[in-house]
Amino acid sequence: MSRPPATEIAAAKINLALHVRGKRPDGRHDLETIFAFCTDGDRLTAELADDLSLTVTGPFAAMLDDGADNLVHRAAAALAAEARVGKGVRITLDKRLPVASGIGGGSADAAAALRLLTSLWGVDPAFAQRIAPSLGSDVPACLLSMTARGEGAGDTLTLVDAGVAGAPILLVNPRLPLSTTAVFAGWDGVDRGALGEWRNGRNDLEAPARDLVPEIGRVLDWLTQCDGADVIRMSGSGATCFALFESEALRDAAAAACPPDWWHLASFLR
């Protein structure tokens, strides 16, 4: 009997707070952030094959290349090389999260591929941990997919209890992609202080993101008016914004009222 395809969720990543402290000699930025993850996201399936291939499906498939430059393909090829795996794999990525939207995207997909193939190929997870930083600053956090404080370039991680497990969350995106590079380039270079308790924090990339996509302001204003919305912020480099809610019912009511031209996802934090 043939083995059924293995599956893995690429959980949507949320930055509960994101403080930019300075610029590093390598061109990246010193960050302090709290990563949290939703119970929902993109979905990967994989089965053993003679060679490595990737097929992208789902509502945002048209925005992605399925070739060797795709982060899922790169992650699979890097793991095969690092672990000296002589097997192929056929991967399908069901792309349900918007692209270039500040909620993990390619990083979450690459991390999910590493977890999935570590299991499918039966290799040591240490190989995936070594590869992750080379694929992107958020990939180590997405590989972990647990609430953590990120420092350095965001890839020095410490597990934390942020008190958000099970919290209802609504993600809203105006369907406008944002370049992470462009948003960081727009940061004014001012260090506004360390990240302490995340609820008292901020997202230092919100201002440059709003300069590039003013619609972010509309999304944040709309979330502020939703009954039961608690913490309301932009995630990562945008343009996705989020609100934590007092109850699942209030979150669902907000989701039902979301403007139809915006993308939204009602989920829970892990």
**pLDDT given at position 132:** 97
**Rounded distance between C-alpha atoms, residue 220 and residue 49, angstroms:** 45
- Percent of the chain at pLDDT > 90 equals 95
Is residue 46 within 8 A of residue 9, CB to CB? The reply is no
**Rounded distance between C-alpha atoms, residue 253 and residue 11, angstroms:** 23
Domain presence at residue 194: yes
Question: Do 92 and 172 fall into the same domain?
Answer: no
Domain presence at residue 169: yes
Flag whether pLDDT at 249 surpasses 80: yes
Confidence band for 7, pLDDT divided at 50, 70 and 90? very high
Question: Do 27 and 148 fall into the same domain?
Answer: yes
Domain that holds residue 36: 6-158
- Percent of the chain at pLDDT > 70 equals 99
CA-atom Rg of the chain in angstroms: 18
**Rounded distance between C-alpha atoms, residue 222 and residue 232, angstroms:** 10
Quick: pLDDT tens for 117-173.
999 999 999 999 999 999 999 999 999 999 999 999 999 999 999 999 999 999 999
- Omega before residue 77 within 30° of 0, cis: no
Question: Do 153 and 87 fall into the same domain?
Answer: yes
Name the active-site residue from 13, 66, 94, 204.
Answer: 13
Which of the residue ranges 25-29, 75-79, 167-171 would you say has the lowest mean pLDDT? 25-29
β-sheet with 263-268: strand ranges across: 229-234, 241-245, 168-173, 263-268
Picking from 106, 127, 158, the residue at the C-terminal end of a domain is 158
Helix (H), strand (E) at residue 37: strand 29-49
Question: Do 169 and 140 fall into the same domain?
Answer: no
Question: Do 56 and 82 fall into the same domain?
Answer: yes
Question: Do 93 and 183 fall into the same domain?
Answer: no
Flag whether pLDDT at 3 surpasses 90: no
Q: Examine the residue annotation and report whether 87 is marked as an active-site residue of this protein.
A: no
Domain presence at residue 1: no
Picking from 158, 173, 198, the residue at the C-terminal end of a domain is 158
Name the active-site residue from 40, 42, 138, 204.
Answer: 138
Picking from 131, 158, 185, the residue at the C-terminal end of a domain is 158
Average pLDDT over residues 31-38: 98
For residue 67, what are its two tokens?
Answer: 């070739």
CB-count burial class (<10 Å; 0-12, 13-18, 19+) for 27: exposed
**Rounded distance between C-alpha atoms, residue 22 and residue 186, angstroms:** 13
Confidence band for 108, pLDDT divided at 50, 70 and 90? very high
Quick: pLDDT tens for 172-195.
999 999 999 999 999 999 999 999
SS3 250: helix
CATH of the domain at 23: 3.30.230.10
Helix (H), strand (E) at residue 256: helix 248-256
Q: Examine the residue annotation and report whether 95 is marked as an active-site residue of this protein.
A: no
**pLDDT given at position 2:** 60
**pLDDT given at position 4:** 78
